[in-house]
Structure 1
Amino acid sequence: MPPIPQWLRSCRRSFWAGIPLAFSLALGACWTNRTGSEVPPLTQAVQAGSPTSAQNPFPPIPTPPPPLPSPTGTPGVPPWWPRSQTQVWEYSPYAVVLSGFLQGLAAQGGSLSQQGILLWTAEGELLAEHLLDQPLPVGALDQLAISLMAIETWGYEHRFETRFYTTGHLLGHRLTGDLIVVGGGDPYFTEANVEALARHLRNFNIRQIDGDVKVLPSFHLVGQTDPLASGRRLAELLADPEHPHTVSISGSVSTLADLPAEARFLASYTSLRLGSLLQILNGSNDRAMAETLLAELGGKPALLEYLQHRLVAHPISYMDAAMTLGEEDIRLGKADQALQLSPRAFAHLWEYLIDFTAGDPTRILPMAGIGHSTLRVRTLPLGTSAQVGSAEDRLMVMGQLSDGTNFVLLNQGPDLGLLRQQQDQFLQDVLVINEPSHR
């Protein structure tokens, strides 16, 4: 064999040395085209001009959410696990479902510093928690606090009475005098009740009132907290020509401090019992009704004082030690004066509600799968008694699963629809965990 020239030997070494580099470049180009991050101009033009071109078979893999921080400082201990149970957290199945729930909230853009979560048993044993002691906005869940205060103030069987008087006399079809309304604090006096009043007046042959409508507190019509506004609306409805029992009124509407001595009784209306009214309130989230009831109880400052006295000064004795309350667990928001409660404050509130309803929360709360309440749009486990609320980017739900497990979820996220699904799935998972122990 003839000898290989020196210049060819150097080229041969360069050739073999360049093979790995060429292979790497070719492989890199292959992955770049696969992921679609860099497509040659000619390929782009062909794809743009051909509607039948194949779609990208390898879409980019989404970046997983970052790992959750561990403010406890204990390696391996998730930050949402009860601080009093850090030594046994790894043996509990609640750690898995709670971790997945929080990871899902973080993945959709929810802030972990705004997620209040609490699970506990009927015996007061703490099962799992996140931000146990941090007050958060409660939305319509303040109706649970209003309900508790109302039951303790008036009693479950209490009924509100609205009375009607007159200072005039009947001349033909005309009542020459004033119609006086004495409110009894009924939070659910509706337009249907006004129609019944008009029918009652027509039965007395009264078709016209030559006088004023005068209102004494506390009269509330269709959720109006102002007695004067309620009186004006009452006069409008009585004189509405569209109604079959119209009663015209010639005078104006004003308020009175006391009932005149010469006033004579005309009619009265007695409300449903308080327990039934609270079922309507909590089943429909009627905010006008809630505001009316709260006004009768003294407003937000009175509610805050009541909760601090009832929950902080007289906490439930059998609750887990980690759920001991402080005054900082209950407050009003600085900007909107909206009620804010920590998850453990809700736990004590719930236990008192159970006591005041003789162990049956459905006496004032809706149940999933039954009726047409606010729970009808949820996929909560059947048999769950709960109250829900929402506010901008927040969704709240509190109640009791069919197996007796109690829960509080005060969650924040940009997509309320997704947040609702995540909450419902979390409670479904909790119920599955509990099933073996109830077989």
Structure 2
Amino acid sequence: MLSLFGSILLTASVQYFNDTPRANLPVSLFAAISTPTLALEPVGSDFALDPTAAEVVKTLLLDLKASGYSELDQGVWIQTNSGALLATHQGTRPLPAASLTKLATTLAALSTWEPDFQVVTIASTRGEIVGNTLQGDLIVQGSGDPVFVWEEAIAMANALNRLGIQRVQGNLIVTGFFAMNFETDPQKSANLLQRAFDSANWDDEILKQYAKLPQGTPKPRIAIAGATRYELSIPSTSATKELVRHSSVPLRRMLQLMNIYSNNTIAEMLATSMGGREVVIQKASSAAGISPEQIRLINGSGLGQQNQISPQAAVAILIALQNRARSLNLTLADLLPVSDCKCGTIDIRHLPPGALVKTGTLSDVSALAGMLPTRDRGPIWFAIINRGEGDIETFHNAQDRLLRSLNQKWGGPNALLTNSFTSRPWQDTNRDRLMLER
């Protein structure tokens, strides 16, 4: 079977040998296999913007001005895959961008770990299994899994059941870097874990999530006789025996979930695991080839007005993400939501088909950045940052109209371009490893 790359080369060769000049081939044909390049900031007053892009940006600014929003609070950057700048408005000025800064967290994470990296949560004990009872404490040590939710806890409990444990004579002790269901209070997370371990204590919320698991998944029964508590660390008074090692979903799935739902806990935990905001800034700016001055962070999630990024920097990070993803046999679609999904933060947006986007929203900030595939101009990389007190939907509607206008003028994507941004399907597997033989 011909590869996508081979098909493109064959098509190009046929057209060339039929005396069709290469320049007449569709831009999107070569854009589909070319490496995106960041456009440079224009120098001088004689820089000519693309008329189509300049017009839609002008319309956006005029519409917002008519609604009472200052042009000084808006930022835009629009460019082609080859690095031609089509339109800009305050493109290099850092602006409050809310969760758009999660793009920096995403790039820093992929610069730190491989896409299939998994975080391991370990269940262990200092006691012995006698019959169906663990005589001693059950210790669960976290290592920073940001997506440890009901389903993960149920899987771990079922693994413990397979070891024959149905009752814990001692305490349930949770330790280390542990959060469950995006609850950042470790004691509350420990209590959630205890509830998940024993199906006799399940409520409607847990049953709803259980119903999404594969048919036939057992309902675990692990009754904790003692207390449930969180301890930052466990004194090494005696050796522990590992019972189960539970691996998280792979990093690329974590990042995709974080960006689809703009989940702050996932972003904060990943940033913490990397070493904090300074590390995120350094890794993201280095990987994107931009000045750290264009990325100003106080955390990894984007919560707070002090989290600022320029529209150009947002596009630079997107381009770096696509190039990094390609080197890993992935695409940007493995990390960001596609407009067609109608999911997460874009479930009620009116975006053109095939667009890969990341949103950002605070009470007075709305940001949208991503890649818009077009027939005539190939992939269009963009970032729009809007700010002002009022109805945030005004910003959403203006952003959506801008992208739809470009889509109408330059045409929707062809199959070739769409396929070059197709995600690699991810399927879950059993991620629990029993560490004892029974």
Q: Deviations over 1:117-150 (max 9, x none)?
A: 1101111121111111211112111221111111
Correspondence for 2:350 among 374, 379, 402: 379
> How many angstroms does 1:260 deviate by?
6.5
Correspondence for 1:183 among 138, 142, 147: 142
- After TM superposition, the score normalised by the length of structure 1 is 0.71
CA distance in 1, matches of 2:50, 2:150: 58
1:140 alignment partner in structure 2: 99
Correspondence for 2:232 among 250, 255, 261: 255
Contact 1:188 1:277 in 2 (8 A): yes
2:402 alignment partner in structure 1: 426
What amino acid does structure 2 have at the position aligned with 1:378? R
What amino acid does structure 2 have at the position aligned with 1:289? I
2:360 alignment partner in structure 1: 389
Contact 1:384 1:401 in 2 (8 A): yes
CA distance in 2, matches of 1:250, 1:88: 72
> How many angstroms does 1:384 deviate by?
0.4
Matched, 1:353 2:321: yes
CA change 1:257–1:215 in 2 (3 A) is same
Matched, 1:201 2:160: yes
CA change 1:333–1:105 in 2 (3 A) is farther
CA distance in 2, matches of 1:206, 1:333: 44
- In the alignment, structure 1 segments of 5+ residues that lack a partner are 1-81, 316-324
Matched, 1:275 2:243: no
2:315 match: secondary structure: helix
After the TM superposition, which residues 18-167 of structure 1 pair with which residues of structure 2 at under 5 Å, given as runs?
Answer: 83-84=42-43, 86-87=45-46, 89=48, 92-167=51-126
Between the two proteins, the alignment pairs up a number of residues equal to 346
Matched, 1:299 2:299: no
> How many angstroms does 1:194 deviate by?
1.6
Contact 1:164 1:180 in 2 (8 A): yes
CA change 1:241–1:426 in 2 (3 A) is same
2:372 alignment partner in structure 1: 401
> How many angstroms does 1:239 deviate by?
5.2
Matched, 1:290 2:258: no
> How many angstroms does 1:199 deviate by?
3.0
CA distance in 2, matches of 1:436, 1:241: 53
- After TM superposition, the score normalised by the length of structure 2 is 0.71
2:294 alignment partner in structure 1: 329
Contact 1:89 1:95 in 2 (8 A): no
> How many angstroms does 1:257 deviate by?
5.2
Matched, 1:219 2:178: yes
1:386 match: secondary structure: strand
Correspondence for 1:364 among 330, 335, 345: 335
Contact 2:96 2:305 in 1 (8 A): no
What amino acid does structure 2 have at the position aligned with 1:422? A
Q: Deviations over 1:211-245 (max 9, x none)?
A: 23333423332224455553343234435743352
1:187 match: secondary structure: coil
Matched, 1:168 2:168: no
1:377 match: secondary structure: coil
1:36 alignment partner in structure 2: none
CA distance in 1, matches of 2:272, 2:184: 7
Q: Deviations over 1:151-174 (max 9, x none)?
A: 111111212222211111123443
> How many angstroms does 1:247 deviate by?
1.8
CA change 1:333–1:247 in 2 (3 A) is closer
